[in-house]
Structure 1
């Protein structure tokens, strides 16, 4: 059994820390996904192919974002997690601003690599810090609130990017978001603090011991690859659905922004919060619900996305896409909580980083470029509808994700590391 390793923090302090980490995560996704809504003007301005844009959207970001997550998490576990988070925010915001100055495919690719370098240090230490501040019975809800940064960042980046690009140009959108993140970084540094840990835990286990511990648990691999399959479809669709709305439905940039922001905001926030709330409620009686909930959600997500994307009318597509946009990210609270509990407290950031390494290399690295490449392959047969068919073709990965997660459920209770007060 693992002993509770950190001193308790007052609820008000925990909530302030959670809010600031949430704002940081919102900027994480603002800066990560603002590129998606700006696909049309960027492709036209820089004369890119769909495959090139897919590489910039996913591969350029995923390469260093995924690989550097593990060493930065180790630094966070050995030093101060709050320092790593604030520093990462400053780095990725700076490179986001630089994206607004890119004049070629090569420059934008390099700047997106830089955004990935910065964001590599933001998520895993935040997971670990939240796990320190919140007790087990409230942890999935706290992580779900933190994960609201995903739909809020998606909605905000989509809407703000659309309006700024329309009023000024796409470069102004990147510059504005980058500068705003740079202003937030010193606030995070001043307010967010690590909780005191026992002396034995100030030097966490090295990767050579932490990784073998988690690697021996089949639950980790099954959950990591399940989440990866979901992320492959999710990140791919997030990157390309704005362009589907343009090419298949004739939406203007503002119309695309309004349509998608409303779907992300309503569907995404509902799904993330319900996932955390249900996992905490059901998971206290049976830990396997932390895996069952995502599996059920993914099985519903796949057909709903396919029906919504193939809808002949965009306003019929809106309610049809609302449901899967809620369900496809319901997993964030339950699964990130479960990963935290596969190892003792000193290894939490490292375990999360190992999970994110797999999830993001496959999800971010493959999803957007796969849809872009399929779009070019389908172009001769489907013409302007090629991208829509390419997007629909990846929703089957949600079914694969559900099957893998159901296998993980069988061992989750056995591999769970409980805590004692």
Structure 2
């Protein structure tokens, strides 16, 4: 490590040129499918808030714990030992084990008849899905050079939008086709429509496990014979450029919190505020993900790569700082408009810049020394997940249940939550930008 106060170089050696473009992008495609499956399991709950709450007799706050803390707490805690495993063991095997665990856990959620069972299933889901990000980030950073890393990272995390679309489709189908009184299923008994939806999404994950063996484990790009760095090396890396890491982690944490606060409750907003049915909401939100989410995610990754390649070394910080303000303006309009179709249209720019995780991860990989990337990424995921998935959904529920004491004021609760998060995200990201420029 340099001792003269200059930011340390994170470039290292270029990934092995023997990795063909076809092989590299095939890996990206498999990871895209895995992200899609993960986000189907995560997002389908958002379309089923009221049906599940009625069946289990729970409040918004209790439901938010299933959406948020129940998922995020174990997701982040599991990320620390999983980060170590990713650094030492075959990464595709770790991902395969995780995929198996989260698919079984999704089935447990579908069979839940009590609140604690649903919460237990979500905890299992979180532990399994905690393998996906560190392993996929690590593999992609070994097969793509830094100057080309943002686009594949973004395409991979595009699976979040694809998964959200599938979640909307499955939820809409189940609520439209399965009778409200439920349906008799051999060996399982009578299942509610929301349970059918959640059981349907549990199956594809188990079928995907064999595809992981199609991934070639790339050579790790740090010196293979070098001693594995311990936590002291990771802490030294964080401390050496603490302005960047502190601002970047916190800024992206608030960005994530605002997104989770909005997207976790958006279907419920249209149901309560505008009187829509679940199947109508599923079609509308699914279309929003297709029109804005898929297009916006790819364009964002392309623009940041171009900006960075043109010499703007703080491109990731500045771009996300700007898009956070875009989200604030667009979401404010959506919550204040009386016409639901106009509100949906106002959400297009919000959703277009919501899938920032690929850009955030790419910026971190670029600025972090190779020998500590996995461990630093685990810290990033801890902050990102606790603030975002952990607190975001619950923040809205605190307003509806405890401050307003009125579930119908969900629009006001969402607006206040997103506005505060967007302002804080922009401030911290702009604070981190000068330190990012100094990374060699």
Structure-2-length-normalised TM-score: 0.90
2:429 corresponding residue in structure 1: 405
Q: Show CA shifts across 1:40-59 (max 9, x none).
A: 21011111101000111111
> 1:89 and 2:89 equivalent?
no
- Which residue number corresponds to residue 320 of structure 2? 294
Structure 2 distance, partners of 1:72, 1:207, is 14
CA distance 1:198–1:401, shift in 2 (3 Å) = closer
| Residue 211 of structure 1, CA deviation | 3.4
Work out whether 1:106 is the aligned partner of 2:132: no
More deviation in 165-174 or 250-259? Answer: 165-174
8 A Cα contact 2:146 2:366, kept in partner: no
Offset at residue 100 of structure 1 (A)? 0.5
How many equivalent pairs are there? 412
Which stretches in structure 1 are left out of the alignment for 5+ residues? 417-421
For 2:119 and 2:55, how far apart are their aligned partners in 1? 15
Check if 1:320 corresponds to 2:330.
no
**Structure 1 residue 158 displacement after superposition:** 1.8
The reply to whether residue 415 of structure 1 matches residue 433 of structure 2 is no
Paired with 2:174 and 2:269, the residues of 1 have a C-alpha distance of: 21
Q: Is the 8 A contact 2:98 2:131 kept in 1?
A: yes
CA drift at 1:6: 4.2
Q: How does 1:106-145 map to 2 (within 5 A)?
A: 106-145=116-155
Structure 2 residue ranges without an equivalent (≥5): 1-8, 179-192
* Residue number among 215, 239, 242 corresponding to 2:267 in the alignment: 242
SS at match of 2:16: coil
* 146-155 or 157-166, which deviates more: 157-166
In structure 2, how many angstroms separate the alpha carbons of the residues matched to 1:135 and 1:172? 44
User: Hey, what does 1:347 align to over in structure 2?
Assistant: 372
Residue 206 of structure 2: which of 182, 185, 190 is its match?
182
Counterparts of 1:127 and 1:391 in 2: how far apart (Å)?
31
Alignment map for 1:368-407 (pairs within 5 Å): 368-380=393-405, 383=406, 385-396=408-419, 397-407=421-431
Check the 8 A contact 1:282/1:289 in 2, yes or no: yes
* 2:341 paired with 1:304: no
Q: Which has the larger radius of gyration?
A: 2
Asked if the contact 1:93/1:181 (under 8 Å) is kept, the reply is: yes
Q: Distance in 2 between matches of 1:215 and 1:149?
A: 33
1:217-296 aligned within 5 A: 217=241, 218-284=243-309, 285-296=311-322
Deviation, structure 1 residue 5: 6.0
Summarize the Cα distance change of 1:5–1:308 in structure 2 as closer, same or farther, 3 Å threshold. Answer: same
Task: Measure the CA separation in 1 of the matches of 2:267 and 2:391.
Answer: 18
Alpha-carbon displacement from aligned partner over 1:170-222 (angstroms, at most 9, x marks no partner): 1111111111111101212x111221236833663223322331243221111
Name the structure 1 match of 2:363.
Answer: 338
* 1:152 alignment counterpart: 162
Distance 1:199 1:281, change over 3 A: closer
Deviation at 1:312, TM superposition (A): 0.3
Give the superposed CA RMSD.
1.7
Q: Name the CA distance, whole Å, in 2 between partners of 1:121 and 1:115.
A: 11
Pairing 1:26–2:36 present: yes
Residues 88-124 of structure 1, C-alpha deviations (whole Å, 9 max, x = no match) = 1111111011100111111111111111111111112
CA distance in 2: counterparts of 1:112 and 1:206, whole angstroms? 31
Greater alpha carbon shift after TM alignment, 144-153 vs 341-350: 341-350
User: Match for residue 220 of structure 2?
Assistant: 197
Q: Give the Cα–Cα distance (whole angstroms) in 1 for the partners of residues 206 and 296 of structure 2.
A: 30
Distance 1:96 1:376, change over 3 A: same
Q: Deviations over 1:241-279 (max 9, x none)?
A: 111111111111110101111112221122221221111
**TM-score, structure 1 length as denominator?**
0.94
Report the equivalent of 1:167: 177
Contact in 2 for aligned 1:275/1:332 (Cα 8 Å): no
Q: Which stretch shows the higher mean deviation, 347-356 or 138-147?
A: 347-356
The residue number in structure 1 matching 2:12 is 3
Question: Among 11, 36, 46, which residue is 2:56 paired with?
Answer: 46
The CA distance in 2 between the partners of 1:215 and 1:117, in whole Å, is 29
Q: Contact 1:201–1:346 at 8 Å: present in 2 too?
A: no
Q: What SS does structure 1 have at the residue aligned with 2:68?
A: helix
Q: Which residue of 2 aligns with 1:419?
A: none
